[in-house]
Structure 1
Amino acid sequence: MGKWGPLTAVCLGTFMLLLDVTIAIVALPDMARALHASLSELQWVIDGYALALGALLLALGAAADVLGRRRVHVAGVVLFAVASLLCGLASEPGTLVAARVVQGVGAAAMLATTLPLLGSVYQGRDRSAALGVWGAVSGGAAAVGPVLGGVLTEGPGWRWIFFVNLPVSVASVWLTLRAVPESRGRRGVGIDWAGTVAFACFAGAITYGVVRAGADGWTSAVPAGSFVLAGLALVAFVLVERRVAHPLLDLSLLREPAFVGVMVGALAFNGVAFGVLPYTSIWMQTVLGMSPVRGGLTLLPLTGASVVVALLAGKLLHGAPARLTIGGGLLLIGSGTLCQAVLDSGTGWTVLVPGFVLVGIGTGLVSPAIAGAALAAVPPGRAGMAGGAVNTARQLGYALGVAVFGTVLTSRMRDTLSLDEAHTLAGGGAGALRGELSERTLRTAFTAGLDAASVAAGVTGVTAAVLVLVLVRTPRTVVGRAGAPVEQSAGAPRV
């Protein structure tokens, strides 16, 4: 299949699974009408996938190191395809959410193996070029998702955003088996299932608590109980990781400021860049009256900027310090999100374009830099753990971003609307409220909520950028036995 056959195979699966992180954004209003879904159910359509994807990445990365990375990758594609079919056939919100969770499990098996597979095939400048292409694909997939979702939703219908995965999955399996060689990590390494369960409980409980806080209040019994459970699960995870022979995450890495900085950047990245977009899409379609296609096309400035910059960054920034690419990219993403907090009852979507462009440029910088930092931070045998840790942080950040910024949105709406009205409006029910509330009231409430969510996201992004710039330092240089300088790369990843 040629030198770049493995890259094509891996990128095909990566594009498909990351496309499904955001492809449902534009279809949310149609899903809400067809399935009679509430705001919290719409949030779980997004978060169920992202949480399963993030919570199982570490475990499936470790399993792939033992069982074979190509084998686990192919199994993930098959499970992803089956779950996509179930998503498309869903007749009520609970079924759709459950199928999205299963889809996320398959996606976790695919994503956990992408970086290790590339790392086992490509070295040196070829690896940097491959990661640049992979970064462009991963950043572009998340951005293209709403555009393609709009086309499919307005055309054959929202169910086809899932059915389209079936032929792509068949092609992905065939190409992977044909072009990608099998690879494994260290022999004799077990799978930390106890740590997996503890981490999954933590991720699920904290996200559930945030989603429920939007409706019940932060101090109500259910959210408070969820946060307590999340804290206990996190403690259990730390205890397990300290004692198990082969942990999912080597906690000693957290003593390295550079590794912590990369993880902070990964956690903030997807949440800040894409966490407000579901609500922006709902506003465009249900309040401004845009079609799904037009609503998706409004994100083309973000899409185009992210793809172009990611491709250029992979080729031109070889050897550039990760602190500058990740930190600088996050600063652009945070600033771009802050630039989107300019809406009022009389403005249209075009005022968001400058912010979209800045977010796209930042996304194009961060995606390949995070990937390179993950592989450079650990020995090749631990590539599954490193790639899983960074991608876990990205997906958990996205799930939390959707939940937290949705709560900020509805909380700000409640300055002018009741609790039920705020949740109906945010969940795509503007049409049902038009007989009770004036058009100006609906626009004012929604734009105020979006502004508040954008400010929260922007501040988060800028704060994360500062932490990355402070914590991720350039490698120290020491003198080897022959007097030549030797880079100390541990804890100081570079692209």
Structure 2
Amino acid sequence: MLMLDLTVVNVALPDMRTHLHATFSDLQWVLDAYALGLAVFLLTAGSLADRLGRKRVFNTGFVIFVLASLACGLAPNAAFLSAARGVQGLGGAMLFAIGPALIGHEYRGKERGKAFGIFGGVVGLSIAFGPLIGGALTDSLDWRWIFLVNVPVGIAALVIGVLRMRESRDPRAHSVDWWGLVLFSSALALLVLGFLRGEAQGWGSAAIVGMFAASALLFAAFYFVQRRLGDRAMLRLTLFRNVTFNGISAVTLLCAAATMSALFLQISYVQNVLGFSAWDTGLRFLPLTLTLFVAAAIAGNLTTRMPQRVLVGFAMTFVALGLALATLVDADSAWTSLLPSMFGLGLGMGLFNPPRASLSIAVAEPSEAGMASGIGETFQQVGVAVGIAAFGALFQSRVTDLFVASDAGRQLGDKAQEFGEAVAAGGGAQAAAGMPATLAERLDQAARTAFADGLTEVMIVCASIAALGALIAFAFIRTRDLHESALTGAESEGARAGTAAETAAADATGKVSARA
């Protein structure tokens, strides 16, 4: 449900734009509000789960998620929908952060690798099947059902969670770090919001500069509070001394930024330029779906058989290759020109998901799994929000400029800028249809060319980001940095030994007291 709600909305955006009279910025908010809600609460949710109980916080998040999904389905306008998506993201943050921690608590060693392989496969399926499911619901029913379907499914999942999951928490946990919660969430919210609004308000505007400056100050305050609190802090700063933790965090952010924004733009191309319906668009992304599923299943087995550095590095290499192959698209291409890109992306994303989820908790002690998973998921969701905002802004700017510079664009004079922005938002065909017949055909061709050329330019940038992620993975992910429980299952034996030592110490203390 969580990953579907990141991708399922994409194919319904044209219908939302029509029914809610939304602008391009409104549509970005529908996507980004969910990612923003996720990002600002992930670390907090993971830290709270370690203290209050992972099952308890997980199920609370499920209730919030289901109720917010109902609100999304009943939204009367784009602003209400975006607000409901933000709340949905808060509930989703509890589930995103705690899911890997619950798996990590139940499994050790090789069994953990297999479990995360299944987990990664499901994540991969949901990312890839999102467009297909969204298309089916949008075409056969209404776009509102992409949210309303979460209600019965969510209730069923909540019942399963209550009956089948076991409670776990950190027995040494301190009270909730409220200062850390407020400072980190506020700093992250301002950072992501600055990226989201930067293009619309101007990167050098007082509002955007103020957001980034305030975010930096709040992050600094958060650092000093966490350093002062030590073991009572919501984030153990010692994690940042772990080379592998830093490596996988950076790779996760870069991968999310590159892949999710690329999928958003490619789906927009198939729908708005090639003119396929939501359902037909989903069908044409099945090659990516199937490749991703098979790759995730393979990665689950490889997680315990080869160095994580190699697996993650090759995964990001395939992602970069897939994004680079999107440059085969031009204004007159059929949808099949995207097939090489789909296969590369599907292979890379499928190989990446299982080890990413596993590594996010493998760098910490099992008692801190929620906190470690929360910060790992934070990097992913910040990558999604910033990637969609940054690459969306770049795409909009390039498509608009390319159209304005075209011969057809110059014929429109002062109206070229507005027309170009409509092209970037996917409304080029509709805008051209409203023009005189003698001009409409040339405008339509110029719009298709600007959209395709803008897409390939952004895909090159995304591929470069993914390639950087591959280099970081090869250089900074090391087996020796992982906790022993992620390697051999020795953590449980250590725990038993520790319990025996505590018992012996207690007996000795009792004997000394008796003598006294």
Is the TM value for this pair above 0.5? yes
TM-score, structure 1 normalization: 0.90
**Structure 1 residue 405, shift from structure 2 partner:** 0.8
Q: Alignment partner for residue 333 of structure 2, among 325, 347, 355?
A: 347
What residue number does 1:479 align with? none
Q: Alignment partner for residue 219 of structure 1, among 195, 199, 204?
A: 204
Deviations 1:319-348 (A, max 9, x none): 422111112111111221111123222123
- Write the distance in 1 (CA, Å) between the matches of 2:218 and 2:328: 39
CA 1:84–1:358 in structure 2 vs 1: closer, same or farther (change >3 Å)? same
Runs of 4+ that moved beyond 4 A: 490-495
- Write the distance in 2 (CA, Å) between the matches of 1:464 and 1:379: 26
Pairs within 5 Å for 1:381-400: 381-400=367-386
Q: Alignment partner for residue 52 of structure 2, among 56, 67, 70?
A: 67
CA 1:210–1:448 in structure 2 vs 1: closer, same or farther (change >3 Å)? farther
Select the structure of larger CA radius of gyration.
2
CA 1:490–1:188 in structure 2 vs 1: closer, same or farther (change >3 Å)? closer
- What letter is aligned with 2:219? L
Q: Alignment partner for residue 426 of structure 2, among 425, 428, 431?
A: 428
Residue 456 of structure 1 pairs with residue 461 of structure 2: yes
Q: Which moved more, 1:292-301 or 1:429-438?
A: 429-438
**Structure 1 residue 491, shift from structure 2 partner:** 11
Residue 47 of structure 1 pairs with residue 45 of structure 2: no
CA contact (8 A) 1:322 1:494 kept: no
TM-score, structure 2 normalization: 0.86
- What letter is aligned with 2:445? R
Find the residue that maps to 2:9 and give its secondary structure. coil
What residue number does 1:187 align with? 172
Find the residue that maps to 2:35 and give its secondary structure. helix
Q: Which moved more, 1:247-256 or 1:50-59?
A: 247-256
Q: Alignment partner for residue 248 of structure 2, among 262, 281, 284?
A: 262
Find the residue that maps to 1:219 and give its secondary structure. coil
CA contact (8 A) 2:396 2:425 kept: no
- Write the distance in 2 (CA, Å) between the matches of 1:395 and 1:259: 16
**Structure 1 residue 203, shift from structure 2 partner:** 2.9
- What letter is aligned with 2:185? A
Residue 300 of structure 1 pairs with residue 286 of structure 2: yes
Q: Which runs of 5+ in 2 are unaligned?
A: 405-415, 489-516
**Structure 1 residue 356, shift from structure 2 partner:** 1.1
- Write the distance in 1 (CA, Å) between the matches of 2:321 and 2:22: 33
- Write the distance in 2 (CA, Å) between the matches of 1:247 and 1:457: 36
**Structure 1 residue 470, shift from structure 2 partner:** 0.9
**Structure 1 residue 490, shift from structure 2 partner:** 5.1
The percentage of counterpart residues that share the same residue type is 37
Pairs within 5 Å for 1:61-100: 61-100=46-85
CA 1:34–1:323 in structure 2 vs 1: closer, same or farther (change >3 Å)? same
Deviations 1:29-63 (A, max 9, x none): 11111111111111111111112112211111111
CA 1:432–1:53 in structure 2 vs 1: closer, same or farther (change >3 Å)? same
Q: Which structure: greater helix fraction?
A: 2
What residue number does 2:508 align with? none
CA 1:134–1:44 in structure 2 vs 1: closer, same or farther (change >3 Å)? same
Residue 238 of structure 1 pairs with residue 223 of structure 2: yes
**Structure 1 residue 79, shift from structure 2 partner:** 0.9
Q: Which moved more, 1:144-153 or 1:418-427?
A: 418-427
Residue 327 of structure 1 pairs with residue 313 of structure 2: yes
What residue number does 2:272 align with? 286
Q: Which runs of 5+ in 1 are unaligned?
A: 1-15, 476-487
**Structure 1 residue 117, shift from structure 2 partner:** 1.3
**Structure 1 residue 216, shift from structure 2 partner:** 3.8
- Write the distance in 1 (CA, Å) between the matches of 2:43 and 2:10: 26
CA contact (8 A) 1:340 1:352 kept: yes
What residue number does 1:443 align with? 448
What residue number does 1:489 align with? 482
- What letter is aligned with 2:379? A
CA 1:88–1:319 in structure 2 vs 1: closer, same or farther (change >3 Å)? same
CA contact (8 A) 1:59 1:192 kept: no
Deviations 1:137-177 (A, max 9, x none): 11221121111111111110110000111111111111111
Pairs within 5 Å for 1:98-177: 98-177=83-162
Aligned CA RMSD, in angstroms, stands at 2.0
- Write the distance in 2 (CA, Å) between the matches of 1:143 and 1:70: 28
CA 1:163–1:191 in structure 2 vs 1: closer, same or farther (change >3 Å)? same
CA contact (8 A) 2:244 2:476 kept: yes
- What letter is aligned with 1:420? E
